[in-house]
Amino acid sequence: MPQSVPVRTEEAAPTAAELLDFVRHTAADTELIASLPLDPEGRTWVRLTGPGGSEAWLIAWPPGTGTGWHDHAESVGAFATASGELKENSLAVRLPASGWRTLELAEDVDRERRLGPGQGRAFGRHHVHEVLNESPAEHAISVHAYYPPLPLIRRFSRTGAVLRLEQVERPEDWQ
């Protein structure tokens, strides 16, 4: 008697690589990018429909703006620059998920990437970074995607080798 094979009816969770494909493809949509309103004072954003139930955003970065140090908790993610250039500073270390307020970082954990139009990167859970538009005159625009949708963002301050947890934000704080 043949055995039945269960049929999956729900979509599989997207991987970081699939999120990267999505953000790169979306960043190449010139009509979508041109539709984002630009504000000279602060970031603007539009929520997008991401693949497989992921959370996605189109974000405009005025000159000289950035995120500050943060992570995306248990979410994997990706982002790609559509126009302008973004700089990502990140830490090549996995931080504890909880139970700490201050950590002293080892030497050689700092990484820097510059991402121009069409360039992107994917990252895993608890990836600590800051994203900056260092241009003195030009907006940058990027596309970001996270799965699962962001349960929280932890915000950090950094003084030299000391990383300090400053705030935990939940979705209701930024939506």
What are the backbone dihedrals phi and psi of residue 62, each rounded to the nearest 5 degrees, phi first? -65, 160
pLDDT along the chain (175 residues), means of 10: 48 92 98 96 95 97 97 94 98 83 93 97 94 98 96 94 94 75
Q: How many CA atoms lie within 13 A of 48 on its CB side?
A: 24
Tokens of 144: 């970001």
- The pLDDT score that the predictor gives to residue 174 is 67
Question: Which pLDDT score is estimated for 3?
Answer: 53
Look at residue 54 in the predicted model and tell me its pLDDT: 97
Q: Are the C-beta atoms of residues 122 and 77 closer than 8 Å to each other?
A: yes
The one-letter amino acid at 52: G
pLDDT given at position 11: 66
Q: How far apart are CA 68 and CA 66, in angstroms?
A: 6
The DSSP code for 2 is: P
Distance of CA 78 to the CA centre of its chain: 6
> Residue 14 has what DSSP assignment?
P
Query: How many Cβ atoms are within 10 Å of 148's Cβ, its own excluded?
Result: 16
pTM of the model: 0.89
What pLDDT does 8 receive?
Answer: 41
E strand segments, 50-133: 55-61, 69-71, 76-83, 86-91, 102-104, 110-115, 120-123, 129-132
Give the residues across from 70 on adjacent strands.
129, 155
Candidates 122, 121, 118, 148; CA nearest to 50 is 148
pLDDT at 126: 85
How many angstroms separate the CA atoms of 88 and 98, rounded?
A: 24
What was the pLDDT predicted at 48?
A: 97
Displacement of CA 136 from its chain's centroid (Å): 22
